[in-house]
Amino acid sequence: MATTTRKKTTTTPKKATAARAAPKVMKKAVTPTPKPVVKPEAEAPVLRKKELIERVVARSGIKKKDAKPTIEAMLAVLGEALASGEELNLQPMGKVMVKRVKEQPNAKVMVCRIRQRKVGADSTVVKIGAKT
């Protein structure tokens, strides 16, 4: 078996340059600040027209066939009033004010503020058809 000898290589040190001579500055590890965890809010229940009619019928005691056209007319009047920029002051629901309006190609977006009174001893609910 033949042995081979390796040629020894020597390296000569290079001259230190100005860049190498300066000490390296270690950058502080930047840790990103954790973003606050935003938990999705539980979806608020939505009151649809059908459910509104059922609740009005249950509370007032009138027939559904009588309540439905009245409620639909009331919703149409309220929608027209809001669209024209009127403030609504309908107690005990509260005072509804249109703050901003943005026209979209397929809709009109209104940002409203509703202010309700706190329920107190002097607030009374009148039942329709009740004898006083």
CB neighbour class for 67 (10 Å; exposed up to 12, middle 13-18, buried from 19): buried
Split at pLDDT 50, 70, 90, the class of 3 is: low
* Domain ranges within the chain, ordered by starting residue: 46-84, 87-117
* Of 75, 67, 114, residue with least CA distance to 94: 114
Split at pLDDT 50, 70, 90, the class of 123 is: low
Q: What is the pLDDT of residues 18-75, one digit of tens each?
A: 555 555 555 666 666 776 666 666 788 888 999 999 999 999 999 999 999 999 999 9
CB 110 within 8 A of CB 98: yes
